[in-house]
């Protein structure tokens, strides 16, 4: 099983170097902006433990960031405000890397996908529809995104077992959950927080977001199925084609023999995983779970990986060695997360983030309502490059967006919708998003290939969401 662990569940050298270069260039560009843009600050107030901006209070201040602080920013950012989430994601990733590596080496993963293959061999595209709908629903109705990272390598290996490639697996898991999160049907972390901040009933105006969910789901399926059929018919047309990988999965399907120990291991894994999914669903209505969901899901996958590996016949000593090896192999992804997080730190410490907000506010003063809606969308898209947290951006942006909407004759409901669209869809496209970096790193795909593969559907989503925003504005949503 060693070959698979090197090829599927660890950070590939080429993908790591490509992401490293891209992030370093973005870090350099952000640092250059600190010399070009004037520093400024809005006054902020804390309400119910949450920080928000006071509109109309922007003023120039002293700013800038020393070269050494910028150079060390990936590590200094860990001590800044809001770094708890990043630390939790890193710990979460290390646990997942160790657990999956152990399950891979003891043969549980390949055995599981062989079972699934035999169940859906003649209905594989129905399975693609269901898996994609499941992930989109987690994002749209529960607000899950980071929590679904452990499921991504499962979906990728499932795609391989059905004769597709890792991009199909990422499409029906990572793309799907990101797109669902962005539609925000009842997403408590984007729509829920934003509506509360601007004085709207929580989850009001749901019909428009449901319409968006249906349209985006249709777009995703129209993108995935033709590609999957092409790869199934002509595997060499995949931009990540690997003959050894294809031959390996084909051999595993041929050599499949039912084993009672592995059957028991799968029962344990599915049972514990089911508990995790139930907790994710409950977290949308139980505030206490929202605060601890990341470490809780990491613990659940640790238990699932440990129990299923040991039940399959793996010795505890071998499991410990394999788990540690999996954690070490994931360490490059940790560096990428630190670099991505440093971009927000640089903008905040140099005090140019508020300047970007202020200048955008000035641009909207004399624009038409339709243009203002799209500018709000664009503002959220720009800030998403630097601040990936949806709720953090809501507290930062909504106090500014609400008065802009009021002065421009735009409903606050549309402003929330534009913010939600801007916050979410680019989560699975920007190289500064930790979840994207983790997912690509685990399955060994370079960001450049991901960019080329997903750019078409991202452009289509951008066009569709712009049209939906203009439609909503036209009918007075």
Query: pLDDT tens for residues 212-243?
Result: 999 999 999 999 999 999 999 998 899 888 77
- The residues facing 45 across adjacent strands are 52
* Average pLDDT of the chain to the nearest whole number: 84
Instruction: Identify the helix (H) or strand (E) that includes residue 32.
Output: helix 13-36
Question: With 80 as the cut, is the pLDDT of residue 269 above it?
Answer: yes
The model's pLDDT over 407-466, given as tens digits with 9 standing for 90+, comes to 788 999 999 999 999 988 888 999 888 888 878 877 878 888 999 999 999 999 999 999
Would you place residue 169 in the very low, low, confident or very high pLDDT band (cuts 50, 70, 90)?
A: very high
DSSP string spanning 278-306? HHHHHTTT-HHHHHHHHHHHHHHHHHHHH
Measured torsion, CA atoms of residues 403, 404, 410, 414, in degrees rounded to the nearest 10 = -90
Comparing 237 with 1, the larger pLDDT belongs to 237
Q: Given this model, what pLDDT does residue 12 score?
A: 58
The answer to whether the beta carbons of residues 441 and 332 sit under 8 Å apart is: yes
* pLDDT (average), residues 159-167: 88
The answer to whether the beta carbons of residues 156 and 169 sit under 8 Å apart is: yes
Would you place residue 254 in the very low, low, confident or very high pLDDT band (cuts 50, 70, 90)?
A: low
The pTM assigned to this predicted structure is: 0.76
Q: Given this model, what pLDDT does residue 466 score?
A: 97
* pLDDT (average), residues 175-180: 94
Residue position matching structure tokens 């969308």: 377
Smallest CA-to-CA distance from 469 within 182, 227, 199, 123 is with: 182
Cβ neighbours of residue 208 closer than 8 Å, sequence gap 6 or more: 413, 417, 468, 472, 477
The percentage of residues in the chain with a pLDDT greater than 90, rounded to a whole number, is 34
In this structure, the number of other CB atoms found within 10 A of the CB of residue 69 comes to: 15
Would you place residue 275 in the very low, low, confident or very high pLDDT band (cuts 50, 70, 90)?
A: confident
Question: With 50 as the cut, is the pLDDT of residue 3 above it?
Answer: no
Comparing 379 with 170, the larger pLDDT belongs to 170
Taken as a whole, the chain contains a residue count of: 477
The model's pLDDT over 27-81, given as tens digits with 9 standing for 90+, comes to 999 999 999 999 999 888 877 666 678 888 889 999 899 999 999 999 998 888 7
Helix (H, G, I), strand (E, B) or coil at 321: helix
Smallest CA-to-CA distance from 340 within 433, 442, 427, 226 is with: 433
User: What string of H, E and C letters represents the secondary structure of 340-374?
Assistant: HHHHHHHHHHCCCHHHHHHHHHHHCCCCCHHHHHH
Comparing 149 with 2, the larger pLDDT belongs to 149
Question: With 80 as the cut, is the pLDDT of residue 85 above it?
Answer: no
- The residues facing 50 across adjacent strands are 47
Would you place residue 291 in the very low, low, confident or very high pLDDT band (cuts 50, 70, 90)?
A: low
Smallest CA-to-CA distance from 44 within 348, 291, 343 is with: 348
What's the rounded Cα separation, in Å, for the pair 271 and 308? 10
What's the rounded Cα separation, in Å, for the pair 385 and 132? 25
The model's pLDDT over 178-225, given as tens digits with 9 standing for 90+, comes to 999 999 898 877 888 888 888 888 788 999 999 999 999 999 999 999
Q: Given this model, what pLDDT does residue 11 score?
A: 54
The answer to whether the beta carbons of residues 60 and 40 sit under 8 Å apart is: yes
Q: Given this model, what pLDDT does residue 326 score?
A: 85
Report helix, strand and coil shares of the chain as percent, to nearest 5. 75, 5, 20
Q: Given this model, what pLDDT does residue 348 score?
A: 86
9 class by beta-carbon count within 10 Å (0-12 exposed, 13-18 middle, 19+ buried): buried
Smallest CA-to-CA distance from 421 within 365, 392, 463 is with: 463
- Per-residue b/e over 72-97, b at no fewer than 16 CB within 10 Å? ebbebbbeeeeeebbebbbebbbbbb
The answer to whether the beta carbons of residues 442 and 10 sit under 8 Å apart is: yes
Integer angstrom CA distances of residue 318 from 9, 111, 324, 328: 18, 19, 10, 16
What's the rounded Cα separation, in Å, for the pair 360 and 255? 61
What's the rounded Cα separation, in Å, for the pair 161 and 60? 58
């Amino acid at each position: 099983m060693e070959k698979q662990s090197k090829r599927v569940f660890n950070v590939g050298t080429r993908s790591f170097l490509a992401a490293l270069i891209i992030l370093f260039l973005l870090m350099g560009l952000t640092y250059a902006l600190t010399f070009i843009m004037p520093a400024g600050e809005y006054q902020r107030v804390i309400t119910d433990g949450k920080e928000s901006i006071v509109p109309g209070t922007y003023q120039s201040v002293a700013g800038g960031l020393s070269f050494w602080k910028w150079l060390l920013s990936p590590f200094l950012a860990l001590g800044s405000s809001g770094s708890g989430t990043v630390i939790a994601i890193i710990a979460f990733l290390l646990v997942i890397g160790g657990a999956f590596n152990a399950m891979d080496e003891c043969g549980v993963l390949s055995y599981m996908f062989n079972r699934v293959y035999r169940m859906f061999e003649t209905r594989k595209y129905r399975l693609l529809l269901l898996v994609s709908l499941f992930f989109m629903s987690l994002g749209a109705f529960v607000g899950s995104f980071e929590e679904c990272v452990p499921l991504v390598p499962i979906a990728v290996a499932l795609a391989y077992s059905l004769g597709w490639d890792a991009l199909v697996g990422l499409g029906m898991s990572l793309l799907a959950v990101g797109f669902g999160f962005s539609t925000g049907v009842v997403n408590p972390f984007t729509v829920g927080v934003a509506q509360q901040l601007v004085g709207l009933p929580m989850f009001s105006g749901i019909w428009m977001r449901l319409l968006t969910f249906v349209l985006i789901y249709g777009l995703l399926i129209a993108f995935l199925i033709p590609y999957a059929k092409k790869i199934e018919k002509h595997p060499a047309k995949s931009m990540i084609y690997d003959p050894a990988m294809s031959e390996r999965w084909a051999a595993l399907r041929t050599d499949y023999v039912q084993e009672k120990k592995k059957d028991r291991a799968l029962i344990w894994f599915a049972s514990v995983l089911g508990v995790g999914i139930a907790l994710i669903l409950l977290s949308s209505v139980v505030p206490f779970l929202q605060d601890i969901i990341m470490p809780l899901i990491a613990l659940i996958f640790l238990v699932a990986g440990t129990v299923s590996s040991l039940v399959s016949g793996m010795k505890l000593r071998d499991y410990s060695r394999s788990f540690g090896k999996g954690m070490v192999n994931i360490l490059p992804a940790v560096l990428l997360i630190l670099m991505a997080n440093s971009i927000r730190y640089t903008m905040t410490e140099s005090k140019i983030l508020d300047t970007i907000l202020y200048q955008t506010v000035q641009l909207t003063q004399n624009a038409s309502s339709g243009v203002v809606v799209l500018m709000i969308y664009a503002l959220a898209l720009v800030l998403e490059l630097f601040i990936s947290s949806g709720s953090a951006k809501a507290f930062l942006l909504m106090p500014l967006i609400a008065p802009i909407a009021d002065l421009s004759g735009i409903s606050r409901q549309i402003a929330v919708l534009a913010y939600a669209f801007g916050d979410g869809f680019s989560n699975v496209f920007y190289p500064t998003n930790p979840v994207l970096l983790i997912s690509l790193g685990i399955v060994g795909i370079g960001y450049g290939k991901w960019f080329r593969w997903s750019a078409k559907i991202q452009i289509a989503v951008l066009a569709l969401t712009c049209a939906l925003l203009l439609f909503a504005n036209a009918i007075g949503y």
